């Protein structure tokens, strides 16, 4: 009886196997879509802060966005930016771009002369269950937990890269309306133990170090995001 059952079972398996052998090979699965939104803060009339070099924050953030975009693109990530030139973009528009992109990460870029190293901010909204009908101004509440996880990945990569990192949570207009993992990054001068500035936020080598580290961290974030 048992042998009969096995035979019947085998026959049942053999048939689909034979059919599968005749079928043309399945096309390779398309790579999972992984979109990063880069938001160069300020722009146009909104100059942002002014750096010691005389450069406006709006230009430094755009330079950083351009640099990051090419690094991420080279790693096979799809990148969408909120601006590509010196133009003013409203906060609501920035959030709209991020939400429309259905991004796996949104990085809002700032630079500052105050503080030191890299400041990472996640929204200070209280985490809530994601909802399709979340109020616009607090839509990020449903994503805060993921945003904190993203900040954690960026934080460990930056620290590993030898950078000083300060983590914080604050009200972030724009980011608070984003329905994706989102963090704001503010690059402050690099300082030595005596608080003496060793690199300004618009220093090319310093920006390259930060951008390369962020790109590596986002690769790691992509791997994590793909895990079921």
Tell me the closest approach of the beta carbon of residue 155 to Zn ion, in angstroms. 19
Q: CA–CA separation, 78 vs 205, rounded Å?
A: 25
3-state secondary structure of 137: helix
Q: How far is the CB of 197 from Zn ion (least distance, A)?
A: 19
Q: How far is the CB of 171 from Zn ion (least distance, A)?
A: 14
If the CB atoms of residues 37 and 77 are measured against Zn ion, the closer one turns out to be 37
Residue of closest CB approach to Zn ion: 110
> Burial code of 74-108, b = ≥16 C-beta within 10 A, e = fewer?
eeebebbbbbeeeeebebeebbbbbbebebbbbbb
Q: How far apart are CA 92 and CA 176, in angstroms?
A: 10
CB of 103 to Zn ion, least distance (A): 20
Contact flag: residue 110 with Zn ion (CB under 5 A): yes
Beta bridge partners, 169, equal 122
Both tokens assigned to 74: 């080279």
Please choose, out of 34-42, 73-81, 94-102, 120-128, the segment that lies near Zn ion by the rule CB under 5 A.
34-42
The interface region with Zn ion, picked from 15-23, 29-37, 39-47, 87-95 by CB under 5 A, is: 39-47
- Work out which of 43, 48, 181, 189 binds Zn ion, going by CB under 5 A: 48
Size of the site for Zn ion (CB under 5 A): 3
Q: Which residues between 138 and 167 bind Zn ion (CB under 5 A)?
A: none
Can you tell me which of 36, 38, 41, 218 binds Zn ion, judged by CB under 5 A?
A: 41
Helix axes 204-226, 144-160, angle to 10 degrees: 130
Between strands 165-170 and 118-123, the pairing is parallel
Query: Tokens 């690099």, residue?
Result: 190
Site of tokens 């330079």:
63
Asked if 174 touches Zn ion (CB under 5 A), the answer is: no
Using the rule CB under 5 A, give the single segment among 16-24, 45-53, 123-131, 206-214 that binds Zn ion: 45-53
201 contributes a contact to Zn ion by CB under 5 A: no
- By CB under 5 A, name the binding residues for Zn ion: 41, 48, 110
């Amino acid at each position: 009886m048992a042998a009969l059952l096995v035979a019947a079972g085998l026959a049942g398996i053999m048939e689909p196997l034979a059919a599968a052998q005749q079928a043309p090979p399945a096309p390779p699965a398309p790579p999972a879509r992984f979109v990063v939104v880069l938001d160069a803060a300020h722009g146009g009339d909104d100059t942002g802060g002014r750096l010691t070099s005389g450069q406006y924050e709006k230009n430094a953030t755009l330079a950083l966005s351009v640099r990051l975009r090419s690094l991420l693109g080279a790693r096979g990530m799809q990148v969408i930016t909120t601006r590509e030139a010196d133009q003013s973009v409203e906060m609501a528009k920035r959030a709209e771009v991020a939400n429309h992109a259905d991004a796996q990460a949104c990085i809002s870029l700032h630079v500052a002369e105050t503080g030191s190293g890299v400041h990472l901010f996640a929204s200070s909204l209280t985490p809530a269950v994601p909802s399709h009908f979340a109020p616009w101004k607090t839509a990020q509440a449903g994503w805060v937990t993921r945003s904190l996880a993203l900040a954690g990945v960026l934080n460990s990569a930056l620290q590993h890269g030898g950078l000083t990192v300060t983590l914080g949570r604050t009200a972030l207009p724009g980011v608070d309306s984003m329905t994706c993992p989102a963090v704001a990054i503010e690059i402050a001068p690099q300082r030595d133990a005596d608080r003496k500035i060793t690199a300004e936020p618009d220093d090319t080598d310093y920006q390259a170090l930060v951008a390369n580290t962020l790109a590596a961290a986002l690769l790691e974030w992509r791997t994590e995001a793909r895990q079921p």
